[in-house]
């Protein structure tokens, strides 16, 4: 079987050359690729911004802490002694010490001030003896200060530390500044490397987006989103509009989809989707056919009282799609055709027998053996009358009686003796005579096929009533049914006979069992008393309740034949 492919002629035949040069593309591959590239680019830009923002703050903090560390190292008791023991001078010990530190650390400036905020050191000697440009009260109060601020040398990262003498008294302060441009340069120096990593991540994301888009393109057969939406809408309309059952099954054997007609044919509820097939349908041939355990084309199966024709086609994902057609009406017509053929065979047999008897009668008359002719006619008429009276006396339903008389004529032509058991009795109170006609007809036909061609072939039909239950027994003198096949014979599609030219075998006994089980009864096969086969069917509630006798009358005792 070929896998089912979800494409349509309209989708595959649409012109690909006609594409808008601008605007959003129609192909799903292009749309998904553009969306994923946009997402990747946006995430990259966002991640870069989120990384640069704390990096800038981190570099600022590092610069201020470095400036403070230089200021704390410079603010030694020896510098405090030089501050209190000398005057501000370009060649003084305070200026020389500060410049030495500035040169060795690469700081922008190292300024030493006294308690009045006057500079004792500065990279520009002209600033010596002048007051600092920022408020020194916090650091002169004995607290360290870290800040980024603008001064005479521009915007700097500053660290200020109190200058204490040997006794711990604050005699001044040391202010160290690191040029803010150097911090910005460090930040800008990290951007190229960061952009390289971001570009690499973007390239990997673009490659992944391309591969994912190509996979989606293969899986969706390069359909646009609008085409997929249209296909879904068309699929829903088609599945629920066609008069053929459709059941989709996934690779695990669960029902993936079931349309309205399949629910009706299989007797499923709306909750069938998502459940295992064997759980929904139960064990039997229908589940085996849909699950693929029975293979073939146009497989017949019986579900409830319906005869279904099933075909199963696998799909690419390991599942399958099964289609179901209702052949119940066709099978009923086939059964009626079989019954009509049986009647024709019976009439043909009777016509053949009647012609032989007329020839015999004509010969007797031509020989002027009138008394023998009268005796012959009386005997023949009596035999037929006796046969018909025997059947109608024991089987009161006219349909069933007519069936047995017709089957007896067919059996006689085929050299088979068909008789009604002497203890049989069936009143004319059948709820549905057609059901029992179907059961008897199938069992008798099955027995005729079994005994044809065997010596002394005979079939016996027996009826018995137990309350409102009808018990039917059909025995034959054929080869019988092996014990290991006594359940298989009731399986639809199973038969030991060759297929007839007009249909399929393996349904007659399956119908018999289904009809019996539908009424809560049974249908069993066993060995007959003469070595042949015996089929026993019980049909509960097959008879209506007897009508009550009118008040004031006493019914005459009647004895049913035993």
Radius of gyration (Cα) for the chain, nearest Å? Answer: 53
386 CB burial (10 A radius; 0-12, 13-18, 19+): exposed
Between CA 178 and CA 157 the distance in angstroms is 5
Q: What is the pLDDT of residues 258-268, one digit of tens each?
A: 888 888 888 88
Q: What is the CATH topology of the domain spanning 393-539? A: Heat Shock Protein 90 (3.30.565)
Of 154-158, 370-374, 490-494, where does mean pLDDT reach its minimum? Answer: 490-494
295 and 1 Cβ atoms separated by less than 8 Å: no
End-to-end Cα spacing for the chain: 59
With 80 as the cut, is the pLDDT of residue 19 above it? no
* Percent of the residues in the chain that have a pLDDT greater than 70, as a whole number: 71
Beta sheet of 245-249, edge-to-edge order: 255-258, 245-249, 320-326, 306-314, 299-303
Query: Looking at residue 474, what is its pLDDT?
Result: 93
Average model confidence (pLDDT) for the chain? 76
Instruction: From 443, 473, 474, 461, select the one nearest 394 (Cα to Cα).
Output: 461
Query: Looking at residue 530, what is its pLDDT?
Result: 78
Query: Looking at residue 306, what is its pLDDT?
Result: 74
CB proximity list for 347: less than 8 A, separation 6 or greater = none
CATH number attached to the domain at 242-326: 3.30.450.20
Domain 23-223 has CATH 3.30.450.20: yes
CA distances from 399 to 283, 346, 407 (A): 36, 15, 12
Query: Looking at residue 401, what is its pLDDT?
Result: 83
Higher pLDDT, 149 or 416: 416
Helix (H, G, I), strand (E, B) or coil at 294: coil
**What count of other Cβ atoms lies within 10 Å of the Cβ of residue 99?**
17
**Enclosing H/E stretch for 306:** strand 306-314
With 90 as the cut, is the pLDDT of residue 471 above it? yes
With 60 as the cut, is the pLDDT of residue 173 above it? yes
CB proximity list for 464: less than 8 A, separation 6 or greater = 423, 424, 425, 470, 471, 473
Identical fold, 23-223 and 242-326: yes
Query: Looking at residue 162, what is its pLDDT?
Result: 93
Query: Looking at residue 555, what is its pLDDT?
Result: 46
Of 76-85, 188-197, 250-259, where does mean pLDDT reach its minimum? Answer: 188-197
Query: Looking at residue 328, what is its pLDDT?
Result: 67
* Percent of the residues in the chain that have a pLDDT greater than 90, as a whole number: 7
With 70 as the cut, is the pLDDT of residue 385 above it? no
19 CB burial (10 A radius; 0-12, 13-18, 19+): exposed
Q: What is the pLDDT of residues 38-97, one digit of tens each?
A: 777 777 777 767 666 676 677 778 888 888 999 998 888 888 888 888 888 888 898 899
Tell me the mean pLDDT in the region 106-110.
88
Query: Looking at residue 462, what is its pLDDT?
Result: 92
pLDDT band at 113 (very low <50, low <70, confident <90, very high): very high
With 60 as the cut, is the pLDDT of residue 5 above it? no
Higher pLDDT, 205 or 500: 205
Between CA 338 and CA 459 the distance in angstroms is 20
pLDDT band at 537 (very low <50, low <70, confident <90, very high): very high
Query: Looking at residue 6, what is its pLDDT?
Result: 41
Higher pLDDT, 19 or 97: 97
Of 74-83, 378-387, 422-431, 457-466, where does mean pLDDT reach its minimum? Answer: 378-387
Extents of the domains making up the chain? 23-223, 242-326, 393-539
Higher pLDDT, 71 or 24: 71
């Amino acid at each position: 079987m070929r896998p089912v492919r979800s494409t349509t002629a309209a989708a595959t035949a649409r012109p690909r050359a006609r594409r808008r040069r601008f605007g959003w593309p129609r192909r799903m591959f292009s749309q998904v690729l553009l969306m994923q590239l946009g997402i990747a680019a946006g995430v990259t830009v966002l991640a870069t911004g989120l990384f640069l923002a704390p990096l800038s703050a981190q570099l600022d903090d590092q610069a201020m802490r470095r400036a403070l560390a230089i200021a704390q190292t410079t603010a030694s008791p020896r510098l405090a002694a030089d501050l209190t023991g000398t005057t501000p001078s370009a060649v003084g010990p305070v200026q020389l010490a500060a410049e030495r530190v500035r040169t060795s650390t690469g700081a922008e400036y190292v300024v030493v001030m006294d308690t009045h905020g006057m500079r004792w050191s500065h990279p520009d000697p002209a600033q010596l003896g002048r007051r600092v440009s920022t408020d020194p009260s916090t650091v002169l109060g004995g607290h360290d200060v870290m800040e980024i601020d603008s001064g005479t040398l521009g915007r700097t990262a500053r660290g200020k530390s109190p200058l204490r003498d040997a006794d711990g008294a604050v005699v001044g302060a040391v202010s160290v500044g690191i040029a803010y441009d150097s911090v910005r340069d460090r930040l800008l120096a990290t951007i190229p490397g960061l952009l390289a990593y971001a570009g690499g991540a973007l390239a990997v994301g673009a490659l992944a987006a391309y591969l994912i888009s190509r996979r989606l393109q293969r899986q969706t057969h390069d359909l646009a989103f609008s085409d997929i939406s249209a296909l879904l809408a068309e699929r829903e309309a088609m599945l629920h509009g066609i008069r053929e059952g459709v059941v989709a099954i996934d690779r695990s054997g669960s029902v993936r989809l079931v349309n309205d007609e399949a629910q009706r044919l299989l007797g499923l509820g709306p909750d069938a989707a998502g459940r295992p097939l064997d759980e929904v349908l139960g064990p039997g041939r229908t589940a085996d056919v849909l699950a693929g355990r029975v293979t073939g084309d146009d497989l017949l199966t019986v579900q409830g009282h319906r005869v279904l024709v099933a075909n199963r086609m696998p799909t690419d994902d390991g599942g399958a799609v099964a289609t179901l057609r209702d052949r119940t009406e066709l099978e009923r017509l086939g059964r009626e055709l079989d019954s009509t053929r049986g009647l024709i065979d019976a009439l043909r047999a009777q016509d053949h027998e009647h012609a032989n008897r007329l020839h015999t009668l004509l010969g007797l008359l031509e020989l002027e053996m009138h008394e023998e002719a009268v005796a012959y006619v009386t005997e023949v008429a009596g035999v037929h009358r006796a046969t018909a009276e025997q059947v109608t006396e024991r089987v009161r339903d006219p349909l069933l009686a007519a069936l047995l008389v017709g089957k007896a004529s067919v059996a006689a032509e085929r050299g088979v003796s068909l008789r009604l058991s002497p203890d049989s009795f069936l009143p004319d109170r059948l709820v549905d005579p057609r059901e029992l006609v179907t059961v008897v007809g199938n069992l008798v036909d099955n027995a005729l096929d079994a005994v044809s061609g065997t010596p002394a072939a005979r079939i016996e039909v027996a009826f018995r009533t137990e309350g409102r239950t009808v018990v039917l027994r059909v025995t034959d003198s054929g080869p019988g049914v092996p014990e290991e096949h006594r359940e298989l014979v009731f399986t639809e599609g199973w038969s030991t006979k060759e297929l007839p030219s007009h249909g399929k075998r393996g349904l007659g006994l399956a119908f018999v069992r289904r009809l019996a089980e539908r009424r809560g009864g049974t249908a069993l096969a066993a060995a007959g008393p003469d070595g042949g086969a015996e089929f026993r069917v019980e049909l509960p509630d097959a008879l209506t309740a007897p009508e009550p006798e009118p008040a004031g009358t006493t019914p005459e005792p009647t004895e049913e034949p035993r």
